[in-house]
Amino acid sequence: MRQKIASPAYQEIIIKIIFFLSYASFSAWLSYYNIFLKKYLGFSDSQVGIISGIQQINILLVLPLWGIFADKFGRRRILLITLFVTLCLFYGFLFQKLFFSFVVFTFAITLFYSPLSSLLDTIALDFREQTGRSSYGNTRLWGSIGWAFSSLLLGAFLTVKNMWLIFPIASLFMLAGWLITNFLYKALAVKKNLAGLKLQGFRTLLTRDPRLAVFLIIILLYGISSAPIQYYINMYYSEIGASNKQVGYAYAVQALSELPFFYFGQVIVDRIGAKKLMIITMIVTMLRMLSYSFTSDPVLAIIIGSSHGICLALFMVAVVNYVHRFIPGEWKATGQSFIYACYFGGGLAIGNAWVGYVSQRISVKSTMAVEAGLTLVLILATLVTFRMMKPRAA
């Protein structure tokens, strides 16, 4: 039995189950958290934007540190710690009522929640690199399936009165993921360089090739301009009158639209290159936000959201492929943390705070048009930057 558990085929299944359960937990919380804050607690758009921004600013502040810890002490060990602390802290939300307490508690929980996605991605990349089985995209798509399952499940029965249930449900999904990780996942051996995995390693990675630093800046700016279609999209649906069930459908459609692009993403990258693919995803994101700004029909908005697979899945596959060409094997978790810190951390933190501020004055729908304009400017600047950078196979 031990030999069976340790086999690559068995571990491939286990990793995909961990992705499914983890992203089901993420969905249960994030799909409805902003709506919970506004409708259940009555917070303003600006207050919701601040709290939402805090979730991402922690990613920027602490995620690179978690990446170093994971590379130094083991990805599985750090994943278990962060999963367990997060699933326990979810219950703390049930006792918060005031805006200030939510600011403090959101900051506390995201200290441990923030590295989960990048740790899972690193595990998938390690497995692919050492066994040749299951590409990153083929593994990551199980996270999308978990997200879709959870959003549909909650959307079917959530009301304003019972919206607090998102926290215990998220915790239960994460507990299942922790149990499987602890008892069934057997991490493959990863080459370690304990002497080199120190804080000064940040400077080493960023200065060894300036193209990496430039690329990360572009990712950060894209996070700012694309913020409305990420964690703030639920506020858009709420504003145009969508029910919780429709919000659940919207997130399910977005998650399911990612599946073919995660599955075939590597093939697409190999054919057209990571940088070109990134530009394409940015263009689709711009058109998507512009389309949202012209509709108040939840059904049509859900249809528009089916482009999410291009906006996020293909974007992540392109970025992961490009960035990891600069990163040595023993630094993979740290390198992955750079991606999440720049896009989901600094980018979305600034973007969410900005969107919360602007939408309170001109509506979320109108903010979509503003952000589409900013994305167009970024696309043009990125094209110029890529032309100025020395050629590199990507």
CA atoms of 153 and 166, how far apart (whole Å): 11
3-class DSSP state of 156: helix
The amino acid present at 222, given as its one-letter code, is: Y
Q: What is the mean pLDDT of residues 62-87?
A: 84
Structure tokens at 191: 């080459």
Tens of pLDDT, residue by residue over 115-161, are 888 788 888 877 877 776 666 677 888 988 898 888 888 877 777 67
Task: pLDDT band for 195, please (50, 70, 90 cuts).
Answer: very low
CA 168/CA 158 separation, integer angstroms = 13
Say what the pLDDT of residue 197 is.
45
pLDDT value of residue 393: 43
Range 335-366 burial, b when 16+ CB lie within 10 A, else e: bbbbbbbbbbbbbbbbbbbbbbebbbeeebbe
Whether the per-residue pLDDT at 363 is higher than 60: the answer is yes
202 has a pLDDT exceeding 90 = no
The answer on pLDDT for 60 being more than 70 is: no
Residues 304/308/310/315 CA torsion (nearest 10 deg): 140
CB 279 within 8 A of CB 382: yes
What pLDDT does 334 receive?
A: 63
Mean pLDDT rounded to a whole number for the chain: 81
The mean per-residue pLDDT over the stretch 63-84 comes to 83
Contact 15/188 with Cβ under 8 angstroms? no
pLDDT tens sequence across 163-179: 888 899 999 999 999 99
> Is the pTM above the cut of 0.75?
no
Q: How far apart are CA 53 and CA 344, in angstroms?
A: 10
CATH number of the domain at 2-184+197-388, out of 3.10.105.10, 1.10.3720.10, 3.40.50.960, 1.20.1250.20? 1.20.1250.20
